[in-house]
Amino acid sequence: MSRVRHLRLHGRGGEGVKLAAHVVSRAAFLAGHTVQDSPLYGAERRGAPVVAFVRFGDGEIHERGYIVMPDAVVLMDVSLLAHPEAAVLDGLDHASVLLANSRHTADELKRHYGIPARVVSLDISSIALELLGHPLLSAPVAGFVTKALGIAPWETLAEAVRIELQAIGLARELIEQNLRATRRAFDESPLVAWGERAPSAAAAGAAPFVVPRLPARLSAPSMTVEATSALRHTEGWRVYRPEIERARCTRCFLCFALCPEGAIQLDGESYPVVDYEHCKGCLVCVSECPPKAIHEIREETA
Amino acid sequence: MMRELLTGNAAAAWGARLADVDYVPAYPITPQTEIIESLAQWIARGELAARMVTLDSEHSMLTAAGAAAATGARVFTATSSQGLVYGFEMLYTVAGWRVPLVLVNVSRALAAPITLEPDHNDVLAARDSGFLQLHAESCQEVLDSILMAYRLAEHADVLLPVLVNLDGFYLSFTREPVELPALEAVREFLPPYEPAHGRLSASHAMAQGVAVLGGSAYAFFKYQMQRAAEAALAVHEEIAAEFGARFGRRYGAVDGYQLDDAEWVIVMSNSFSTVGKAEVARLRERGEKVGLLRLRLIRPFPHAELARLLAGRRAVAVIDQNLSVGKGGILFAEVASALPTNAAPPLLSFIGGLGGRRFRSEEFDQILAALREAESSGGSREAHLLYSESEYRQLLDMLRIARGGTIEV
Amino acid sequence: MQTRREIYKSIKDIPRAEYLAGGTGLCAGCGGLLALRLLHKALGPNVVFVNAAGCLTLLAVFPFTPFHSSWLYTAMASAPAGAQGIRDALDVLIAKGKLAKEEDLKVVVVTGDGAANGIGLQATLGAIFRGLDFYYFCYDNEAFGNTGFQMSPASPLGSRTATTPTGTTTRKENLFELWRAQRPAFVATVSAAYPLDLMDKVARAGRLHGSKLFVSLSSCPPGWGIEPAESVEIAKLAVDTGVWPLKEGHDGEVIHTVVPHRFRPVEEYLQRQARYRHLFEPTRQEDILRRLQADVDQYWAAVRPTPS
């Protein structure tokens, strides 16, 4: 049975997880491997967790679907570590690798989150912001991953970037910019060896579970508790946070009125206060504030 | 209690009236229209305190029906055939909301070719949707089934909508004697609706029918519907027993005719079962030990009871008044899957009554002969269409008219 | 120039109570969400939203809802029919004494342009025809947004969508006029960039019995190719260039409630959005640009704005 390598990429919608997977997969394909790639997401939506899978090997790939035991996890947005339902660490063990887009060191991440795998990190977001002006992560992440894991040489990767970015209709100028960012990430990426994963032992003798019948009134997708979405925090969506300079604020109420999330409320003196747990960092308030009293501050990750 | 001469449609309307429904969203379609016309008359005369609204299509009608049920009203609606399948999406949706209501389908064969007479492809298309299904043989059974259907749908262990089927023309426009139970007696059997789940009001905010993401959540809710439908078998039994005790008519998941000592069994459903029963009686007079089993509860499907009743028979024929193109008779496949693979009698599949085509008496002789043959040679999966040579020749004549020239066959 | 507002005259009149909680999965800077938030403030409590498939369907995903109000997701084509069912049920239950009058709810259909135009027209026109007492709020981002921004009947001429990559060649369906032809109690176009105009229309409409329909041009950062931070600014440009007239219709009359003093060139609005980039690069498509400006000019030439 030929060896298959399993990559699982995590990020948020809008960060280019699917495109990153496509570039890595294309690079492996151009390098002569058999590949299979697929994304998993809900409705087209920015901010929600997105997963993509890349399998590559030298023979046929008799696998499909969710990668439960990844050889490597690529974490494009470390804020997902705070959301257990994103399951970014599932299936990792000491033989696997976590490649993180972060300005924190691998050691800091590993210790802080108790990550069982070997960790390497690179601040892709800063590379993208510097060379592309926006946090367009896909191509530089692919540069990081391809170099770190030795998936393909630079020329092959560069061709993969061109093919995949052309396929989504990017202009030549932007593709060249992306290639520069990819090269930077490629050059700065540390190297890490693939591990040898032991197949997991199936739980022997486990009886199949039979789902019990719940009372019919509880068996529908309905909610009788109000406003449960408040339990979900969207601070992880932000690249920049809005900070209100009270001294300049004229209490015109525009930011309060125009926040799509209703995340700006008025305090006892009618000054606007940001609810950072539910601010997504859209920065409409920054744009609309007439005296420019709201500043955009780069968010510290993880 | 009154004894009246009623069509199946009128009996259905009486079912809704005696159930004291709150809301009737409507859309006309042959052969259902007399149901909503009767209800409209009664409402206009103040004899039924319900609101009826004609919607813009059956899809809208079923949406309004489910939404009103989700608000907490007792809802009745009716359709047929093209209308049922026009609103098909909403059958799955409303069932998934876990709200009770009764939908009467007056069966009519599906286009194309477009026609008006009955068969069961329309109602059986809905069998996966989550709606429970009761199929009636007589006008009396139509009324009774509607009353029982509300008890079933609204039961705390069920909370699934119910489809009650009656054949177009042969029940819908056919008059038979029907006992109308007194309103007070019905109210004791079927009290006013108290929602266990779906309600909407200012002090009771609810989000219903929301999206789920992730296979686990979807699988869970879908499976709970299955468990509720399974529970409905016992609930139906209880309700039918109570109905029998109160009103003197006892219904089961199936209806057996001369079944006890039958060696050869014919399985049918709906109003043409009456024809089947008459043929069974005729064959019995010749000394043939034939019996008829009428399927009444289609969803949930009564696997265990069917297996018990068909065990030990010499051979069994299923007559489907429907056709799943590329597979055969729908109920044949469902019956076959209910029987144990190592101890089932030989099974035969016949298709009859498509588009309301009437049975010929000799066809039942042919079926019996085939059953005899099957006992020794084993059953057959192949669906045999009941059709005569003379019909075929007439069809060829019509083809010649339609297409001109000679038809080489 | 702006028509005199009756209820929401100043931004300080905007109530502070929030009726939608945060934590939803909608895009940062979603113009539809902002409009819905403002609409709900104007409506107050005791609302049931009836939804058809679209971006805002993802507001309520089990077990999370942002609403203190009620919500029922129906199907793409039939939210107004769902509204009919709820309205009728509430009326019947109240009439029969099974529900107290104070338990009544305002019934509000929420759909995108995809479900409002085309597929949803049958149910909507049916509801208006029946005189249904309900609100209809359409957030129009000019495409089928939730499925990845494919062309809808509301996609404007020349705009790029996933299924019209070189630009749409059909004209935007006129939903306001389609609705208005049925003579509903109230119909209006609104914009979240003009919150007081939006809220005043909703509040004044609330005095009327019958069908009250609103369509809000809603900025869509991923679909239109703008930054989330520009969401309100672009929406304002749509109004200030005359592309999105703010008006209301009732009693057979149409009144324009916000008329720019000086119309900015339509190009200023188009140039800011990546979905119109092909009209400027690699070469300017003069024909289409001229036509788009001419369409706007023609519209306003035919309109006689009411004096303030």
The predicted-structure confidence for C138-163, as pLDDT tens digits, reads as follows 999 999 998 889 999 999 999 999 99
For residue C241, the model assigns a pLDDT of 98
Q: If you average pLDDT over residues A108-130, what whole number do you get?
A: 95
d(CA B135, CA B58): 21
Q: Does B159 touch chain A (CB under 8 A)?
A: yes
- Residue with the bigger pLDDT between C103 and C252: it is C103
| Section A141-153 average pLDDT | 97
Q: Are A257 and C66 an interchain contact pair (Cβ–Cβ within 8 Å)?
A: no
Q: Which of C38, C41, C62, C65 to mutate to test the interface with A (most CBs of A within 10 A)?
A: C65
Mean local confidence (pLDDT), B314-325 = 98
As given in the structure block, the two tokens for residue B1 are 């209690």
Q: Do A286 and C229 touch (CB under 8 A)?
A: yes
Confidence of residue A31 (pLDDT cuts 50, 70, 90): very high
Does any CB of chain A come closer than 8 Å to the CB of residue B205? yes
Name the C residues in 117-146 with CB < 8 Å from any B CB: 122-123, 125-126, 129-130
What is residue A43's predicted lDDT score, i.e. its pLDDT? 58
Query: How many angstroms separate the CA of residue B105 from the nearest CA in chain A?
Result: 25
To the nearest whole Å, the CA of A14 is away from the closest chain C CA by 8
> Span A140-159, mean pLDDT?
98
Confidence band (pLDDT; 50, 70, 90) for C304?
low
Among C107, C28, C56, smallest CA distance to A239 is for C28
Name beta bridge partners: C246: C258
Q: Could you tell me if C20 lies within 8 Å of chain B, comparing CB atoms?
A: no
A251 in the Ramachandran plot: left (φ > 0), alpha (ψ -120 to 50) or beta? left
pLDDT in tens, A238-282: 889 999 999 999 999 999 999 999 999 999 999 999 999 999 999
Q: What is the mean pLDDT of chain C?
A: 95
Task: Indicate whether C1 pLDDT > 60.
Answer: no
Q: Is A227 on the interface with B (CB under 8 A)?
A: no
Return all residues near A263 (Cβ < 8 A) that are at least 6 apart.
A274, A275, A276, A278, A279, A280, C22
Alpha carbon separation from B264 to A91, B161, B207 (Å, rounded): 59, 35, 53
* Count of beta carbons in the 10 Å neighbourhood of residue A167: 11
For residues B69 and C85, give the distance between their C-alpha atoms in angstroms, rounded to a whole number: 8
Asked if B139 and B176 count as a contact pair (C-beta separation under 8 A), the reply is yes
CB contact under 8 A, C229 and A284: yes
Residues B98, A217: C-beta atoms closer than 8 Å: yes
Q: Is the pLDDT of residue C2 over 90?
A: no
Residue C308 has pLDDT above 80, yes or no: no
CB–CB contact B70 C92 (8 Å):
no
* pLDDT, tens digit (0-9, with 9 covering 90-100), for A205-233: 778 899 999 999 999 999 999 999 999 98
Tell me whether A229 touches chain B (CB under 8 Å). Answer: no
- Domains of chain A by start residue, with CATH: 4-188 (3.40.920.10), 228-298 (3.30.70.20)
Residue A302, pLDDT above cutoff 70: no
Contact (Cβ atoms closer than 8 angstroms) between residue B19 and residue B147: yes
For residue B160, the chain A residues in CB contact (below 8 A) are 216
Contact A154, A27 (CB under 8 A): no
Most confidently predicted of A83-92, A197-206, B157-166, B390-399 = B157-166
Nearest CA of chain C to the CA of B219: how many Å?
A: 13
A215 touches chain B (CB under 8 A): yes
CA distance B32 to A246: 69
Q: Is the pLDDT of residue A1 over 80?
A: no
- The span from the CA of A87 to the CA of C214, in Å, is 41
For residues C292-304, average pLDDT: 94
Residues A183-194 have a mean pLDDT of 96
Predicted structure pTM score = 0.93
| C38-97 residues touching B, CB cutoff 8 A | 45-46, 48, 50, 57-58, 60-62, 65, 67-75, 77-86, 88-93, 96
Å from A10 to nearest chain C CA? Answer: 17
The alpha-carbon gap from A65 to the nearest alpha carbon of chain B, in Å, equals 13
As given in the structure block, the two tokens for residue C114 are 């995809």
User: Residues with Cβ < 8 Å from A131, sequence gap 6 or more?
Assistant: A140, A177, A180, A181, A184
Q: Which residue has the tokens 């930077």?
A: A184
- pLDDT in the model for residue B356: 96
Residue C199 CA to residue C222 CA, distance in Å, equals 26
pLDDT of res. B10? 98
Q: DSSP per residue over B122-187, as a string?
A: HHHHGGGSS-EEEE-SSHHHHHHHHHHHHHHHH-TTT---EEEEEETTTTTT-EEEEEE--HHHHH
C-chain CB neighbours of A43 within 8 Å are: 55, 57-58, 146-147
Residues of C in contact with B56 (CB under 8 A): 81, 122-123, 125-126, 129
Are residues C291 and C172 in contact, defined by beta-carbon separation less than 8 angstroms? Answer: no
Of A191, A141, A154, A187, nearest to A23 by C-alpha is A141
Note the pLDDT tens digit of each residue in C19-39: 999 999 999 999 999 999 999
* Omega of the bond leading into C15 within 30 degrees of 0 (cis): no
Contact B231 A213 (CB under 8 A): yes
Indicate if the pLDDT at residue B373 is higher than 50. Answer: yes
Residues of chain A with C-beta less than 8 angstroms from the C-beta of B162: none
Confidence of residue A301 (pLDDT cuts 50, 70, 90): low
Q: Does B181 touch chain A (CB under 8 A)?
A: no
Q: What angle do CA A30, A36, A38 make, to 5 degrees?
A: 120
How far CA B238 is from CA of B3, B290, B309, in Å, comes to 26, 30, 20
Cβ within 8 Å, pair B196-A226: no
> Over 80: is that where the pLDDT of B359 sits?
yes
Report the greatest alpha carbon distance in chain A.
71
Q: CB–CB of B53 and C83 under 8 A?
A: no
Taking each helix axis from N to C end, the angle separating B8-18 and B139-154, rounded to the nearest 10 degrees, works out to 30
Secondary structure (DSSP) of B276-318 = HHHHHHHHHHTT--EEEEEE-EEES--HHHHHHHHTT-SEEEE
Which of B285, B317, B283, B270 is closest to B142 using CA atoms? B270
To which H or E segment does residue C246 belong? strand C246-250
pLDDT tens profile B15-68: 999 999 999 999 999 999 999 999 999 999 999 999 999 999 999 999 999 999
Q: What is the DSSP letter of B102?
A: E
Tell me the two tokens of residue B130. 């989550």
Write out pLDDT tens, residues C183-195: 999 999 999 999 9
Cβ atoms of C275 and C224 within 8 Å: the answer is yes
Under a CB-based contact definition with an 8 Å cutoff, are residues B39 and B16 in contact?
A: yes
| pLDDT for position C42 | 98
